[in-house]
Amino acid sequence: MRSIFEKREQAALNWKKKGLIFAPPQRSSWPYSHAALPVADREGDQYRIYFSSRDQAGRAQVGSFTTDLAIASEAREVTTKPVLGLGPLGAFDDSGVTMSWLTNHRGRKYLYYSGWSLGVTVPFYFYIGLAISQDNGRSFVRISPAPILGRNEIDPFLTASPCVLVEEGKWRMWYVSGTGWEMAEGKPRHNYHIKYAESNDGVDWRREGIVCIDYQGSKEYAIARPCVVKEGSLYRMWYCYRGERYRLGYAESGDGLEWTRRDSEAGLEISESGFDSEMIAYPYVFKEEERYCMLYNGNEYGQTGIGLAVAC
């Protein structure tokens, strides 16, 4: 029996919403607000969900909770302290750490994240960092106080939100890359799309400026949080893109390098009311038993919490 990912010119996935599975704790010192950029990691018969939450100063840090997605149960074991906190003063991640991806490899968990620092002429800078856990995700240690993908001639403005797959010893990354800033309504506004990089070890990366998902139309200026799934010979990517508000995007590729956008086939729209009535953002797609699931954020970049949808 062929899988749903091997049928294409096959139909794209459609999604059935299961509702909100995690609302941020109310106004503790941390988490104070938001539960953004969720990532699911299987632990026996349940999942540990990593997410980014903000403190009272608006600085994001990474926490986690456990849940049984088979029955969309309530969150348990919600961390009261970050599993990955702020970087040292003056470092690229001293003003925020947002979750991006978790890769399990040879008994270690590689946590890829976006580190934030504040700017002067522009509001912020962010770049890609890496922390590794050797105790099954209970704690993470940065491999360096510097980013693993900072600014260079390929990415002169910013890097963020990597998705990382390991295929036959090759580490493959799809990530957000800034193309510049512009003034919009009197304020600096970022522009970023999705590029590609490769590595032999998940730490040192080669970049050649390969653009995977580019802007379409003059009103589009941000393409964020790529999530790539491969089964058979087909690569599928979910992401979010925005003009005024984030919406769910979708693309396909035969090699992971050249992609065709099929945003109309993303299969998940905003609701008429509720936590995701204005925005669909930051998708994370994974296989749970024989079904595909998506964690995502709704309104205000995760302020309303984490939603679950299943393929149908």
Q: What is the pLDDT of residues 119-129, one digit of tens each?
A: 999 999 999 99
Q: What is the pLDDT of residues 221-244, one digit of tens each?
A: 999 999 999 988 999 999 999 989
Any domain includes 15: no
Range of the domain at 126: 87-311
pLDDT score at 138:
82
- CA distances (Å), 162 to each of 64, 227, 295, in order? 19, 8, 16
Q: What is the CATH number of the domain that holds 179?
A: 2.115.10.20
Q: What is the pTM of this model?
A: 0.94
Question: Is the distance from CB of 287 to CB of 1 less than 8 angstroms?
Answer: no
Any domain includes 93: yes
Residue 57: HSE in the Cβ half-sphere, 13 Å Cα cutoff: 7
* Torsion angle of C-alpha atoms 65, 285, 154, 104, degrees rounded to 10: 60
Question: Is the distance from CB of 247 to CB of 214 less than 8 angstroms?
Answer: no
Hey, CA dihedral for 287, 290, 291, 297, is it positive or negative? negative
How far is it, in rounded angstroms, from Cα 44 to Cα 46? 6
**Residue percentage of the chain with pLDDT more than 70:** 96
Lowest average pLDDT, out of 7-16, 188-197, 264-273, 281-290, goes to: 7-16
Any domain includes 169: yes
How far is it, in rounded angstroms, from Cα 109 to Cα 251? 27
Query: Is the pLDDT assigned to residue 6 strictly greater than 60?
Result: no
Any domain includes 175: yes
Number of domains the chain is built from: 1
Any domain includes 282: yes
Any domain includes 268: yes
Any domain includes 162: yes
Any domain includes 206: yes
